Structures are given as structure tokens and as C-alpha cells.
Amino acid sequence: MEMTIINSVLSLGGVGLLLGLGLGLASKKLAVEEDPRLAYLVAVLPGANCGGCGVAGCAAFARGLLNGSTKPNGCPVGGADCTAKISDILGIEAVLGEKQVAYIRCNGDDDVTRSNYEYYGLLDCTAATHLVGGGSKACTFACLGGGNCVSACQFNAINIVNGIAVVDKEKCTSCGACVPSCPKALIDLIPYKSIVTVACNSKAPGKIVRQNCSVGCISCKLCEKACEYDAIHVVDNIAKVDYAKCTYCNECVKKCPSATINSTTFENPKKQKPQEKKVAENAAASPQTTDSPAKKQTPPEPQTEALKKEGTEGKKVE
Amino acid sequence: MELFAIAFSAIFVNNFLLARFLGICPFLGVSKKIETALGMGIAVAFVMTVASAITYIVNIYILETLGLGFMYNIMFILIISSFVQAIELLLKKVSPVLYEAMGVYLPLMATNCAILGVTVLNRDVGYNFMQSTIHGFAGGLGYLLAIVVFAGIRERIEHNNVLPHFKGFPIALLAASMMAIAFMGFSGWMI
């Protein structure tokens, strides 16, 4: 009896001691020399491990800070306070000014963009995109309003308004979760301060854009000519603002014939007109379409072909 | 041939997850994505194999020789948890990439009852060293198979319109039960 007790205590204790010693030695010998700043960084992060920054947990984010794969202002939960502390630890200047927001490069809501058909399927952009013509909207680049980005957003910053997604600039934490959720790749992170934005992503030629949408970029290059600061360029049939150069003078906004370029500091008079016109046109046009259905049906075919061509060309270039 | 029978039985007939219902916690917890399920499955398979071999040696040469067979449970837990710790240390040093990929699942392994289960089963059935190791490895493979297949099913469920009452865990549990029934086809019905 005593023997059993002694044996069991000794064997279990012995094995435990052996394993403990082994582990202790191993942890010494296999110790990975970690950056001493890592512990401090982990301490200032919120520790919620929410993944809002795009990496798996706060510790991974801290490691990313040290090797450069994540940015000090990348934590949406910690905010400016956290960024300041991180910058302090890393010994760099806090770049709070670079607050970013998500921006959806499509302005084509249900009033201004033509639809090829009505979509009653699954309320999901990915599902809708796989249909003929890349969704119900005539423009293959348009936001379908299925709400993939809405469900991707943890902060309720995106809403579907009149058939397109709209970002609430104040609620947006620039976590970037919505960016990969859009099957049309419409969402960009742009500087919070950027007043001037191009609300279109159509790489189709101007003629086709004009057929499909009254607020699309028709690549007329008037904005390029209007800009004194070389800050806006039409590349691949779409105007793009270089925010490093833009001074927000609103010259391009005034010149844009289809009111694609938006500015928060300039009320575009064209903006209201086309919509009203369009509504009036629609009302007038509806009896016409019933009169001549053949005429109405012919344009979409060459148009989709042209778009396809456009798509394949784009792929080849890539 | 006998080894093959042991392996086949551990993978399909007596699958640790779907027939023995061991290690259900990570089965439900880490099966939302195929990649994470794969990582967990591989880690479990590896630990099960090595734990089977080590506990066999400890059981025969320490516990049995000293007549302390009754202590197997506590001894096995001690060995498995410290072994998992050792692997974690080793991985961190040797392959930080794999360590990153495994993440939290590695420490989870220490408390996975499938691993303790396989070592206890080895002892109860009385397998020899080779049989124990094969049993552990095949059990791990079965675990890997079940968790990856289940993760695939769950990924598909995510994209479907499930009744609100069944959303999330309820539908996952239903799927798991049906998978278990399907795997029962390998063993037949015994009353």
C-alpha cells in the first residue's frame, strides 16, 4: 500500500519534473528574440481581437506594426488615441491626418441608371453579378445595391439608398472590411478630407455610359483641361483624382457635363436638373416604348458586346 | 493487414468525431472556414500520432512496471499538455509561418478530448507500439476528414437562406448529426 502511494507520487512527480525541466530548457533554448516594443504595443491596443484591422487579432496587428505590414492608424477601434500611443512607441510622428473613409465609386441610383430587367433573386451582390450583363443595371460597372458591403460593415456605416450603397462618412472607421466584399470592386479607401470625388467606375466608352446612365463618367476629359494642378486624369475611360495634388478648387466639378464629379463644398446645379429631366423623360417615353418595342430592344446587343470586348481587353492588359 | 483494419476503422467506422463523439468542441468551434478547419485537423492528426506513441512508452515502461495502471488518465493528460506546449515552442522557433497559421488552435489541442481519447483507447484495447501509432495517426486523419467536410458544408449553409430559428449553431448541429448518420453507414446498425 505504502509502496503504491510512494511509487505513484514519485513517478508522476518525476515525469512532471522531467517534462517541466524539458519545457523550461526548451523555452530558454528556443526563445524567439521578440522585439521588446511588441509587449508595449499589445498593451496599448484595445485587445478586443475583433479583426477590424484585417489581421487576426491585436497581437498580430502589433507584430505587423513592427514589420511594416500594418499601419499605426490601422486600428479602427482604438481610434486617434491609440494611434498616438502606437506612434509614440514606434518613435514616429503620428499621422492622424490621414484618416480615411470608404467611398463607393458609383452614383447610379435607380433614378438615373437604366435597368435591363427587374431582379427578384437573392439579395446578394455576388449572386446578382453572375447574371446576364453582370446584374440588372444596364451599366455593368454599377452598384447593384445588394448590400454585401452593408453586411460586411461592422459599424453600420453603409446603407442602401435608392438602389445604391452610400457610406456614412462619420460612422466609417476605414477598417476596409467592405472593400473586398464588393464583387464590382467599387469601394475605395480615400482620405477623409477629400472633398472632390468621382462617383463612377465605368470603364466603358462615353457613348455607352451615356446610354445607360445620366451621371456616369463619359471620359470627355473636360475635367483634365479644367484642372490647373494636374490632379485629375482620365485613365481607362474614367476620371481619377490624385488626392496628393488636389487643392479642392472645384473647377472640375463645375466643368463636368454629367455631374459625375462631386464636391461637398459646391452645390452642382446640373445635379438636380438631369434627374428631373429624366423623370419627365421617363414619363414621356413610357408610351413610346410600348409603341416600338423593336427599336428599344436593338441597342442593348451591340452595347453588351462592346462591354464584353472592353472586359477582355482589360484582362489582357492585366 | 491488421494495421490496415485498425486504420480504416479509425478513419471511417469509428471516426473520432462522428462515431465516438470525441473532440466535438473544436469540431463546432473552428469549422466555419475550410482553411482553419484544415489547420486544426492537421494539428490534431499530428498531435494524436505522436501522443499515441509517447503515451504507449510511458504506459508500458513506467505505469505498468510500477503497477500504477490506474494512474493512466492523469499521466496522459500531463504528457499531452506538455507535449503540445513543446510543439508550440518548437513551431514558434522553427516555422513562424506555420505557428501563425495555427494560431489559437495549437493551445486548444491540449484540452482536446479526442487526443486523450485515442491514448486511453490504445491502452484499453491493448495495442502494441506500432498499432497504437497507426491508430493515432488514422484517428487524426479521420478527424481531419470529418472537420474539413463539415467546414465545407457550413460554408455552403452560410450562403443559403436558413430559417431564422435555425440560423447559426442550430443548423450546424443538424448538419453534424446528419453527417454522423451518414458515417454510421460504415458500421451498420447495432442494437
Of A192, A220, A243, the residue at which a domain comes to its end is A192
Instruction: Please answer yes or no on whether A11 and B96 come within 8 Å at the CB atom.
Output: no
List residues of chain A with CB under 8 Å from any CB of chain B. Answer: 4, 7-8, 11-12, 15-16, 19-20, 22-23, 26-27, 30-32, 56-57, 60, 122, 124
Say whether both A222 and A161 belong to one domain.
Answer: no
Per the domain annotation, does A126 fall within a domain? yes
* B25 and A CB contact within 8 Å: no
Q: Do A142 and A224 reside in the same domain of the chain?
A: no
Establish, for the pair of chains A and B, how many residue pairs have beta carbons separated by less than 8 Å.
51
Residuewise pLDDT in 10s, chain A (318 residues): 788 888 888 888 998 999 999 889 888 887 777 778 888 888 888 776 767 677 878 888 888 888 888 877 777 767 777 888 888 888 776 665 567 788 898 888 888 888 888 888 888 888 888 888 788 888 888 898 888 899 888 778 899 988 889 998 888 877 777 888 898 889 988 888 778 888 898 888 888 888 888 888 888 888 888 888 888 888 888 888 888 888 888 888 888 888 888 887 777 666 654 445 445 555 554 444 444 444 444 444 444 444 444 444 444 443
Q: Do residues A146 and A81 both lie within one domain?
A: no
User: Is position A218 within any domain?
Assistant: yes
Question: Does the beta carbon of B99 lie under 8 angstroms from any beta carbon of chain A?
Answer: no
Q: Is residue A179 included in any domain, yes or no?
A: yes
Our CA-based measurement puts residue B63 at a distance from the nearest CA of chain A, in whole angstroms, of 8
Report the residue of chain A nearest B78, measured CA to CA.
A16
| Domain shared by A170 and A136, yes or no | yes
- Work out whether strand A158-161 and strand A238-241 pair parallel, antiparallel, or are unpaired: unpaired
Residues A167 and A128 in one domain: yes
Please indicate, yes or no, whether residues A166 and A106 belong to a single structural domain of this protein: yes
Is the Cβ pair A23, B75 closer than 8 Å?
no
CB contact under 8 A, A7 and B66: yes
Q: Residue B63: its chain A contacts at CB < 8 A? A: 11
> Which chain A residue's Cα is nearest to B65?
A7
How does pLDDT run across B86-142, given as a tens digit for each residue? 888 887 777 777 777 666 777 777 778 889 999 999 999 989 999 999 999 999 999
pLDDT of amino acid A98:
64
Q: Is residue A293 part of a domain?
A: no
Nearest chain B CA: its distance from A20 CA (Å): 8
B82 and A4 within 8 Å at the Cβ level: the answer is no
Q: Examine residue A114 and state whether it is found in any structural domain, yes or no.
A: yes
Q: What is the pLDDT of residue B190?
A: 61
CATH number of domain containing A51: 1.10.15.40
CB nearest to A12's CB, from B67, B75, B86: B75
For residue B150, is pLDDT > 90? yes
Q: A12 vs B67: CB contact, 8 Å cut-off? A: no
The answer on A187 and A104 residing in a single domain is yes
- Domain check: are A162 and A240 in the same one? no
Residues A202 and A187 in one domain: no
Total count of domains within chain A:
3
**Shortest CB distance from A30 goes to which of B89, B103, B161?**
B89
pTM above 0.80, yes or no: no
Q: How close, in Å, is residue A7 to chain B by CA atoms?
A: 7
Residues of A in contact with B58 (CB under 8 A): 15
Is residue A182 domain-shared with residue A142, that is, in the same domain? yes
| Inside any domain, residue A256 | yes
Q: Are B30 and B37 in contact (CB under 8 A)?
A: yes
Judge whether A209 lies within some domain. yes
Q: What is the pLDDT of residues B13-59, one digit of tens each?
A: 889 888 888 888 888 878 888 887 888 888 889 889 999 999 999 99
Report helix, strand or coil for B168.
coil
Residues A11, B71: C-beta atoms closer than 8 Å: yes
Residue A147 lies inside a defined structural domain of this protein: yes
Last residue of a domain, one of A90, A124, A155: A90
Assess whether A142 and A56 both reside in one domain. no
Q: Which of A161, A192, A223 is the last residue of a domain?
A: A192
The answer to whether the Cβ–Cβ distance between A16 and B78 falls below 8 Å is yes
Here the cell at position B164 is 431564422
Joined together, the cell numbers standing for residue B15 give: 471516426
The range of the structural domain enclosing residue A207 comes to 194-271
> Which domain CATH number covers A216?
3.30.70.20
Do A250 and A198 sit in the same domain of this protein?
Answer: yes
